[in-house]
Amino acid sequence: MQKDLTSLLRDPNLIPSEKQNLLSEITAQTETLGMPCYVVGGFVRDLLLGQPINDLDIVVEGDAIALGKSLVEKYGGNLTPHYKFHTAIWDLPSSFNLYPSSLDLITARSETYSQPGALPTIKPSTIEDDLRRRDFTINAMAIRLDGSHFGELLDPLNGQADLEEKAIRVLHPRSFIDDPTRIFRAVRYEQRYSFILHSSSFTLISPESLAVIQTLSGERIRHELDLIFEEDNSHQMIVRLGELDVFKWIHPELRAFNGEYSDFLEMDTSLDVPASRTTMGYMLWLMDLSEAAILSIARRLNFSSDLTHSVWGASQLKKSLPFLVNSKPSVWAFALEKLPLLSIYAVYLVSGEKALLDYLSFWRHVKSHTTGDDLKARGLEPGPRYGEILTKLRAAWLDGEVNSEKEEKELLNRLL
Ligand code: ATP
């Protein structure tokens, strides 16, 4: 089916008018510089699917860094050039008022892989070569924007036909061996759009390509998993990765995601807990593993110390629940206060333990009226007694043993 790309490119429901204006300004500049200019990848895919565009993926045949410099000269903002990759990031002037507030400018290039799983070697080239370096046919289309070429579709690998067939198809048989992060990407697109990995590509997910996952850096694998947890269908994506036997190549102790936890991936907390879909995803996935397995997987995937702490904290809390059940509120509060709030929330979701919800909603906010300054004013020598007394006062509030400022004062008098 031939689509009228010119009208899709001008549809404000698909591309907000501010972004259309930005594209026109960039295109005008590439015309001055004599560089053919294209939108590529996800932009074209989503436009043809009639879905709103997120990122402007812009490629020029020529020199993206020179383009960036001339844009900064004309419109302002800042440029960060990456000479090795022939790319530049343009931090847009604030007057553009656009989100995201920066834009990647890419030089059309060819790529070669020196060894499986390594990052590719890059050379400036034509748009056709640039499309041939990509992951899937549906991501390997371009629309030209400059001059009389506005709206021309370049589709040398038949991406449009695969979009219509709802097929994810790699561009050549070595694709997953060159870069097995594409296995994760295939699963993400498959589940996001309800497409199917084409049988000819499916058979390429073989022990040979899967084994290359072992050579990928933790950073690169985690980046793909992060992208998955940010998606609406992340549970189906993780299940599909499990079906494809991916986990054991990441880490021998990585298990399937517990299906009973899948609903909790949808973060909808009204509890004033800092939300993060990715952190929630890793916590739910890993919390039932042993401490040693969690720490080893965290090292393999190069988790930040915060993420490791959250997952470890959720796991420790879940394991200690049987010892805390039926404790007084103060016992809960003192046990929980060193743990990340999101870890507590995750364990609440999977266990339904009401004390955890009470802690998140009320108990964590309970404090005594008396402060350290008050104790000083009462003549107490500075030392560990301060902490002890304030803790006792707080515990008394939490456990309902004091219920007013007056009762707190009376307790304080007894303690001093
Ligand atoms: P989305 O952000 O919606 O997942 P996108 O297509 O914008 O989709 P990006 O990750 O921003 O995805 O990548 C931009 C383009 O770069 C892709 O459309 C694809 O053509 C290409 N690309 C990204 N990762 C790879 C890869 N591992 N191998 C080959 N090409 C890739």
Whether 179 is in the pocket of ligand 1, judged by its Cβ within 6 Å, is: yes
Domain boundaries, the chain: 1-165, 277-365, 372-415
**Residues of the chain by 3-state class (helix, strand, coil), percent to 5:** 55, 10, 35
Taking the CA of residue 189 as reference, the ligand 1 atom at the shortest distance is 4
pTM over 0.95: no
Q: Please give the pLDDT value at position 335.
A: 96
Question: What does the pLDDT read at residue 2?
Answer: 57
Ligand 1 centroid – CA 134 distance (Å): 7
Per-residue b or e along 140-177, where b marks 16 or more CB atoms closer than 10 Å to that residue's CB:
bbbbbbbeeebbebbbebebbebbeeebbbbbeeebbb
Here the tokens at position 145 are 């924007």
CA of 54 to the centre of ligand 1 (A): 12
Nearest-atom index, ligand 1, CA of 182: 27
Q: Please tell me the distance between residue 149's alpha carbon and the centre of ligand 1 in angstroms.
A: 24
Atom of ligand 1 nearest to the CA of 55: 7
Ligand 1 center from residue 103 Cα (angstroms): 15
> Which residues neighbour 410 within 8 Å (Cβ) at sequence distance 6 or greater?
402
Secondary structure class of 204 (helix, strand, coil) = coil
If you take atom 3 of ligand 1, which residue's CA is the nearest one?
42
Helix axes 64-75, 17-33, angle to 10 degrees: 120
185 alpha carbon – ligand 1 mean position (Å): 8
Q: Using the mean position of ligand 1's atoms as its centre, give its distance from the Cα of residue 139 in Å.
A: 7
Q: Is the CB of 109 under 6 A from ligand 1?
A: no
Q: Is the peptide bond before 156 cis (omega within 30 degrees of 0)?
A: no
Write down the architecture of domain 1-165 according to CATH. Answer: 2-Layer Sandwich (3.30)
The answer to whether the CB of 134 is under 6 A from ligand 1 is yes
The answer to whether 212 and 117 are in contact (CB under 8 A) is: yes
pLDDT at position 121? 87
pLDDT, one tens digit per residue, over 190-239 is: 999 999 999 999 999 999 999 999 999 999 999 999 999 999 999 999 99
Measure 219 CA to ligand 1 centroid, in angstroms. Answer: 17
> Which ligand 1 atom lies nearest to the CA of residue 42?
6
Which residue ranges of the chain lie beneath pLDDT 50? none
Cα 406 from Cα 208, distance rounded (Å): 73
Kindly state if the Cβ of 226 falls inside 6 Å of ligand 1: no
Q: How far is the CA of 196 from the centre of ligand 1 (A)?
A: 18
**With contact defined as beta carbons under 8 Å apart, do 185 and 135 qualify?**
yes
Best substitution site from 14, 51, 57, 190 to test ligand 1's pocket, by max atoms within 8 Å of Cβ? 57
User: With a 6 A CB cut-off, is 87 part of the ligand 1 pocket?
Assistant: no
Those residues whose C-beta lies under 8 Å from the C-beta of residue 188, and which sit 6 or more positions away, are 224, 227, 228, 231, 237
**Does ligand 1 come within 6 angstroms of the Cβ of 55?**
yes
Cβ(283)–Cβ(310) below 8 Å: yes
Using a 6 Å cutoff on CB, does residue 61 contact ligand 1? no
Count of helices and strands (H, E) across the chain: 22, 11
Among 132, 134, 233, name the best residue to mutate to test ligand 1's pocket (greatest count of ligand atoms within 8 A of Cβ). 134
pLDDT at 197 (0 to 100):
97
Classify 375 as helix, strand or coil: helix
Query: How far is the C-alpha of 99 from the C-alpha of 192, rounded, in Å?
Result: 23
Distance 413 CA to ligand 1 centre (A): 67
What confidence score (pLDDT) does residue 4 get?
Answer: 86
| Ligand 1 midpoint to CA 46 (Å) | 12
The whole-number pLDDT of residue 99 equals 86
Ligand 1 binding pocket includes 139 (Cβ within 6 Å): yes
Using DSSP, state whether 270 is helix, strand or coil: coil
Q: How far is the CA of 41 from the centre of ligand 1 (A)?
A: 6
Report the nearest atom of ligand 1 relative to the CA of 46: 3
